Structure 1
Amino acid sequence: MHEWLTEWGGSEDCLRAILQCLPQAQVFATIDFLSEANRRRLGAAAIRTTFLQKFPGARTRFWNYLPITALAVESHDLRDAQVIVSSSHAFAKGVITTAEQLHLSYVYSPMRYAWDLHHQYLEDYGLQRGVKGMLARYMFHRLRQWDRASANNVDAFMAISHHVRRRIWRAYRRPARVVYPPVAVDRFALQERKEDHYVTVSRLVSYKRVDLMLEAFRQLPDRKLVVIGDGPEAAKLRARCPPNVTLMGWQPHEVVQQQLGAARAFIFAAQEDFGISPVEAQACGTPVIAYGVGGSEETVRDVRTQAQPTGLLFDAQTPAALAAAVRDFDTHATAIDPHACRAWAETFAEPRFRREFAECLALALDAFRRDPAQVEAAVVRG
């Protein structure tokens, strides 16, 4: 059970890898508007959708149907399944199950707009005040209630990072086992020779904090930053872009690979659940300068505290802190070996994911046959 299939992203890569572990599985989703090329990446699995598939504007304005998405997920009839795997960052884990079914949930995040990023979403969409704001707050309140209640349908949780594992405990009071998502490191080549520019690859949305990067590099006029990506914040960022920052927009993989490989360092200012782009940069042998909260704590080895370092972490989500980190990086850059970056990135490669996911499934099945009450302990303890 996957959330929705609209564009290809990190969760779809996880779904693809899960299906390689479960080649006979059938896929369920609320909606499916993947291109034919992307759908082929999921293999031969049939995809069943919900009534939302035929609703007007479902492809481009799916958020309009947020209040009834839980109902759509619950409409899936999974009675014939023996094992259910939900690939969830919002609603997917809420499928209705029976006592005879094993349900494992691979969680990218508890519902962000209902929990950690609740106030930021209200601010971004101008819903802090007024009647619309009150209705939005009530809707998110009900979603939190449903989200917590639907966690009872899950026998065991897997989390994409220790950061998400802590958030699962905060939201649901349930333990989880960490299984890092697969990163396609083999699509990126190691490049030892670096140029003088910095780079970031990001969807241009508010929580990615590309605005922070622009302001930091405004304070660093002798350094150049290349920003690759597109999104709803593009026009706003273009209007405030300093002359030493280049906004390239969306670029094909070949350009991303070239820019990542040639960059002096990769810049990452978001608080992410995991963060695939920094690992891809390290696969190119490129160090990462990252905000050290969230997934970055697990994917970047700080040059000041760890052996075989792969980057530098800064501790405040402000332009001044990032600018200081870039300056500090100059004094440590020679201590970071591109080969160490590549070797660390390879520990997040897809074979590791498939091996650990298959192990969790085997442990869960064995425990479920003996005593369903022991499934969670078996998976979490390994």
Structure 2
Amino acid sequence: MKVALVHDWLTGMRGGEKVLEVFCELFPKADIFTLIHAPGSVSKLIEDRIIRTSFLQKIPSIQKNYRYSLPLMPRAIESFDLSGYDLVISTSHCVAKGAVPGPNAKHVCYCFTPMRYIWDQFDSYFGPERAGWAVRTAINALRSSLQKWDRASSSRVHHFLADSNYVAKRIKSFYNRDAEVIYPHADTEFYTTGPSPLKEDFYLIVSALAPYKKLELAVQAFNNLGKRLKIIGSGPSLASLKAKASPNIEFLGWRSNEEIRNHYRACRALIFPGTEDFGIVPLEAMACGKPVIAFGEGGALETVQENISGVFFKESSSKSLAQAIQSFEKISWDPSKIRGHAEAFSRKNFVASLKSFFDKILSA
């Protein structure tokens, strides 16, 4: 059986690429098709595959500016010739699920999310405070046609998998398709409590610094509380967040996995202020025995166990977050129970769930 793996783009090792790694292990002879590939940006397991890119790869500086090519992405993903493959697996948060399978092939999409920026989170990316007039005007003109393509191309998928019940509901809402939920994994073998418990007097954020992450809520809350906050990450919101932050807030940039693990182990808790489709970072922190203070919406409701591995704040406001932090500090936390909860999301369990799913559909 010939297998094709279709991924939106390969420009770094994030949660989506860690899922792709698992598919590479399950289907060791599969070829990879992706819009853009920055060589050396992903793991050896992925880099060692045959990687076929689209015509977008030829555009100068595309590896840094690929997001501006959004209007061309549907055509680019459709340009791949997948006619010789029996099974197509797309791992999609943008256009990968729009790949065209051969007439006798099965197409399974592991959907991280329908495209946020053309559906329900449009203003988070292209609102007046996020983008200039020219960009907003152009995207508004294209939004309707992108939505039509996104909905129509969902019919090319025979089986949808979703990374959370939250995403499954969005798939139903936008595509009118049912999805089976298989939670992705956290690296619970790497992220551990360590040889001895650590606790320093700071809170932690590990995140891309992007508008939809709602990090400004955390900055405002910690400005008001005066407590220490360390932020690991980089992205387009860095300058505006720094401009608003008090001296008790440190911006550390991206750090190595080992440094991130050390910060998880040492912090009081992880702050998770946005609405995420799933969210690997809270599970990494919990695997290190540290609780999470999360906004009570989206995938966090499926990964954080209230008063066991974390607490929720109910309103998307700095005041609500500050109140949750104050409530959190009155609770006694058990690192072993927090760690035990995270272990349910191990790589072993993820692989077993995927194997069971593919055994079922391929034998049908």
Query: Shorter chain as normaliser: what TM range?
Result: over 0.9
- Summarize the alignment of residues 365-380 of structure 1 with structure 2, pairs less than 5 Å apart: 365-367=362-364
* Conservation of the 8 A alpha-carbon contact between 1:113 and 1:140: no
| Residue 280 of structure 2 is aligned to residue 261 of structure 1 | no
Which whole-Å deviations, capped at 9, do the CAs of 1:296-346 have from their partners, x for residues lacking one? 10110001xxxxx101011111000000000011222x1x31001111111
Whichever residue aligns with residue 247 of structure 1, its letter is F
Pick the aligned partner of 1:82 from 79, 86, 103.
86
| Cα distance, 1:242–1:27 mapped onto 2, change above 3 Å | same
SS of alignment partner, residue 113 of structure 1:
helix
- Summarize the alignment of residues 181-330 of structure 1 with structure 2, pairs less than 5 Å apart: 181-191=184-194, 192-221=197-226, 223-303=227-307, 309-330=308-329
SS of alignment partner, residue 273 of structure 1:
coil
Q: Distance in 2 between matches of 1:207 and 1:163?
A: 16
1:378 matched to which residue of 2?
Answer: none
| Cα distance, 1:56–1:148 mapped onto 2, change above 3 Å | same
| Cα distance, 1:258–1:76 mapped onto 2, change above 3 Å | same
* Conservation of the 8 A alpha-carbon contact between 2:40 and 2:47: no
Which whole-Å deviations, capped at 9, do the CAs of 1:214-240 have from their partners, x for residues lacking one? 11012212x211111111111211121
Query: Per-residue deviation at 1:163?
Result: 0.7
Query: Per-residue deviation at 1:203?
Result: 1.1
Which whole-Å deviations, capped at 9, do the CAs of 1:18-76 have from their partners, x for residues lacking one? 1111111111111111316x341326321111111111221111122211111111010
Equivalences, count? 356
SS of alignment partner, residue 60 of structure 1:
helix
Which whole-Å deviations, capped at 9, do the CAs of 1:130-188 have from their partners, x for residues lacking one? x7534321211111100000010000100011110111001101110111112112111
Structure 1: 5+ residue stretches without partners = 304-308, 368-382
1:345 matched to which residue of 2?
Answer: 342
| Residue 354 of structure 2 is aligned to residue 357 of structure 1 | yes
Q: Distance in 2 between matches of 1:120 and 1:138?
A: 17
| Residue 19 of structure 2 is aligned to residue 14 of structure 1 | yes
Query: Per-residue deviation at 1:84?
Result: 0.5
Q: Distance in 1 between matches of 2:162 and 2:21?
A: 17
Pick the aligned partner of 1:23 from 25, 28, 31.
28
SS of alignment partner, residue 136 of structure 1:
helix
SS of alignment partner, residue 343 of structure 1:
helix
Q: Distance in 2 between matches of 1:338 and 1:142?
A: 49
| Cα distance, 1:340–1:132 mapped onto 2, change above 3 Å | closer
* Conservation of the 8 A alpha-carbon contact between 1:52 and 1:72: yes
Q: Distance in 2 between matches of 1:166 and 1:363?
A: 23
| Residue 109 of structure 2 is aligned to residue 105 of structure 1 | yes
Q: Distance in 2 between matches of 1:238 and 1:133?
A: 25
Query: Per-residue deviation at 1:125?
Result: 4.1
Q: Distance in 1 between matches of 2:251 and 2:82?
A: 46
Structure 2: 5+ residue stretches without partners = 1-5
SS of alignment partner, residue 285 of structure 1:
coil
Pick the aligned partner of 2:77 from 63, 73, 78.
73
**Which structure 1 residue ranges, 4+ long, deviate > 4 Å from structure 2?**
none
Structure 1 vs Structure 2 CA RMSD: 1.5
2:138 matched to which residue of 1?
Answer: 135
1:306 matched to which residue of 2?
Answer: none
- Summarize the alignment of residues 22-171 of structure 1 with structure 2, pairs less than 5 Å apart: 22-35=27-40, 38-42=42-46, 44-123=48-127, 124-126=129-131, 133-171=136-174
Whichever residue aligns with residue 65 of structure 2, its letter is R
Query: Per-residue deviation at 1:9?
Result: 0.7
Identity %: 36
Query: Per-residue deviation at 1:3?
Result: 0.5
Q: Distance in 2 between matches of 1:34 and 1:189?
A: 30
* Conservation of the 8 A alpha-carbon contact between 2:283 and 2:342: yes
Q: Distance in 2 between matches of 1:246 and 1:179?
A: 36
Instruction: After superposing the two structures, state which structure 1 stretch, 178-187 or 320-329, moved more.
Output: 178-187
* Conservation of the 8 A alpha-carbon contact between 2:39 and 2:47: no
Q: Distance in 1 between matches of 2:192 and 2:124?
A: 37
Q: Distance in 2 between matches of 1:187 and 1:52?
A: 35
